[in-house]
Amino acid sequence: MNDRINITLLGGVNEVGGNTFLLEDFGYDIKILIDFGVKIDRYFRYYPRKKAPSTINELIMNNLIPNDDLLPIDDLYTHSWSNIKIKNTSIKIKEQISLDQLYPSNLDGILISHAHKDHYFGISFINRSIPIYTGKVTKKIIKAFYKSEIHKLDNNFKGLKWRTFKTGDIINIKDLKIIPFHVDHSVPGAYGFIIYSSVGIIVYTGDFRMHGPLSNMTREFLEQIKTNNIFLRSNTADDKQKVLISKGVKVLLCEGTRIHKGIVESEESVENNLEKLFQNNPFNFILVKYDRTDWDRFRTFSQIAKNHNWKYIITEKDAYFYYLLNKYGLQNTMKDPNIIKDDHIYIVINGDVKYIWQEKIRQIIYKNQKGARFLKYSDLYDIDGNFFFYLTNINRKLIKNLNFKKTGLFISSSIDPYSEEFYDNTNTIYAKLQEFGIPCYRIHASGHVLIHDLINFVKSINPMHLIPVHTEYSEFIKLLFSKYDIDTIIGEKNKIISFNAD
Ligand SMILES: [Zn+2]
């Protein structure tokens, strides 16, 4: 056995998003990918709404996914890409799976930390023989996304070989043990990983924060990194592994999205600021934008609407997405708001049924005798009372039917200056709304760790080597942590970083 590991940063290095790291552990003869994201703003510049790539090669040529010819991975991507048709999907998916089984990949697995596209979107393109290790909630969110979007070549999450986990589980891939552990982030069900490699402990934080409603989860993750309780209590660690564990963390792959400049903020401050606005609120309607997977933000805005007797209007697509997550209800926080029970939530229907999510949500709402909560766009003009309208882009129907004689406001509450889910179009929306005399507020708290929390987190782990990821400020991080004698390695895309046991 050759105890050595290689880490190749294929994405998310010196950039925010697109995290994809190849871990080769020669001691265990194993190759895994840690996250498989795409750089979402670049992707949507190539393929805006409703457009889709036609081949895997096209994506590789455009530098949107890694070129597997240059990697020690065979058959990373699915073989029947060009055969996948939107219609008759079930038959084609079967063909896809059998072709991939005929030419399986030698990649031993893909770990997915959470359900943001800049961490998982690549699995739409992979060989169906590769196991995907992810949290139960993440799988459900990806599936809900898949079901509430048009099925196209880059929204193809069928036939995947899921292996789901929860905190407390031990992932075992060819005897390499990995502890997935919950962290707080702006999407439910996010995880970090503690990997017991042949050269020592490798920790990957994924995206995390310590100022959200579930920040205790991040603190428990930190505790687990320091105690290794789950692995040690399982009695599966051999003497060699125990020695490696006693040496502490060898490599920390840590997110550093906003390390150089920030605001001290919290999800609670979003709520407080909204309450402040509502104490003297001159507005009749508020258009609000945030990332669809940001359940905490959805709850915050919906709660304000409920408290002040405002309607909360969402589209059918969003209603179906949230309905699916309510239905799966894997976390208590994901049951509130509730699409069926919450009568202040209204759903705007758009013409005849064209898409499956329209059909489904209409059936469900009518079946529950809540049909009165459906609205047409044309109802918006002289709607009774005040309302929020949740949007992710600006459409002509909305502009045509809003009553601009009333006073409106736009609140931008997206994840960050960049977006983890779609090409950030806040400025386009804002420019359009300005034409109608709609002012804009930014009321927001980041999904990413604040500066002082990150310093304390890294200091407390005190890793032998720190590799900053998901950040444009690696050099800055190196400078910052040199004060604590922590060796920071500045990664370079596609360059191998090797570690031995000593
Ligand atoms: Zn994220």
Task: Tell which wins on pLDDT, 417 or 194.
Answer: 194
How many angstroms separate the alpha carbon of residue 420 from the centre of ligand 1? Answer: 6
Confidence of residue 319 (pLDDT cuts 50, 70, 90): very high
pLDDT attached to residue 86: 44
**Is the pLDDT assigned to residue 88 strictly greater than 50?**
no
How many angstroms separate the alpha carbon of residue 311 from the centre of ligand 1? Answer: 29
Q: Please say which residue of 422, 442, 462 terminates a domain.
A: 442
What does each C-alpha distance from 463 to 22, 247, 323 come to in angstroms?
Answer: 20, 10, 42
Between 132-136, 142-146, 197-201, the lowest mean confidence (pLDDT) is in 142-146
Q: Which 3 state secondary structure label does DSSP give 291?
A: coil
Residue 82 burial (CB < 10 Å; 0-12/13-18/19+)?
A: exposed
Cα(99)–Cα(286) distance, integer angstroms:
50
Query: What average pLDDT does this structure show over 188-211?
Result: 96
152 with 233, same domain: the answer is yes
Specify the CATH number for the domain of residue 297. Answer: 3.40.50.10710
Q: How wide is the angle at C-alpha 465 spanned by C-alphas 215 and 22, nearest 5°? A: 85
Q: Please say which residue of 394, 423, 442 terminates a domain.
A: 442
112 with 231, same domain: the answer is yes
465 with 351, same domain: the answer is no
Mean pLDDT over each residue of the chain, to the nearest integer: 91
Query: What average pLDDT does this structure show over 100-111?
Result: 94
How many angstroms separate the alpha carbon of residue 208 from the centre of ligand 1? Answer: 8
**Is the pLDDT assigned to residue 109 strictly greater than 70?**
yes
Full domain range(s) for residue 298:
267-442
CA atoms within 13 A on the CB side of 295: 30
How many angstroms separate the alpha carbon of residue 118 from the centre of ligand 1? Answer: 7
458 with 408, same domain: the answer is no
**Is the pLDDT assigned to residue 91 strictly greater than 80?**
no
321 with 209, same domain: the answer is no
How many angstroms separate the alpha carbon of residue 187 from the centre of ligand 1? Answer: 7
How many angstroms separate the alpha carbon of residue 252 from the centre of ligand 1? Answer: 18
User: In the sheet that 465-469 helps form, which strands lie side by side, from edge to edge?
Assistant: 171-173, 176-183, 190-197, 200-204, 249-255, 465-469, 487-488
Confidence of residue 152 (pLDDT cuts 50, 70, 90): confident
Tokens of 59: 């994506």
How many angstroms separate the alpha carbon of residue 69 from the centre of ligand 1? Answer: 28
Query: Using one digit for the tens of pLDDT, what is the confidence trace for 340-398?
Result: 999 999 999 999 999 999 999 999 999 999 999 999 999 999 999 999 999 988 889 99
What does each C-alpha distance from 102 to 32, 67, 88, 106, 129 come to in angstroms?
Answer: 20, 21, 22, 12, 9
Query: Using one digit for the tens of pLDDT, what is the confidence trace for 432-486?
Result: 999 999 999 988 888 888 999 999 999 999 999 999 998 888 999 999 999 999 9
Query: What average pLDDT does this structure show over 167-178?
Result: 97
**Measured distance between the N- and C-terminal CA atoms of the chain, rounded to whole angstroms:** 15
Question: How many separate domains does the chain show?
Answer: 2
429 with 457, same domain: the answer is no
The secondary structure element, H or E, covering residue 90 is helix 89-102
Amino acid at 265: E
How many angstroms separate the alpha carbon of residue 3 from the centre of ligand 1? Answer: 32
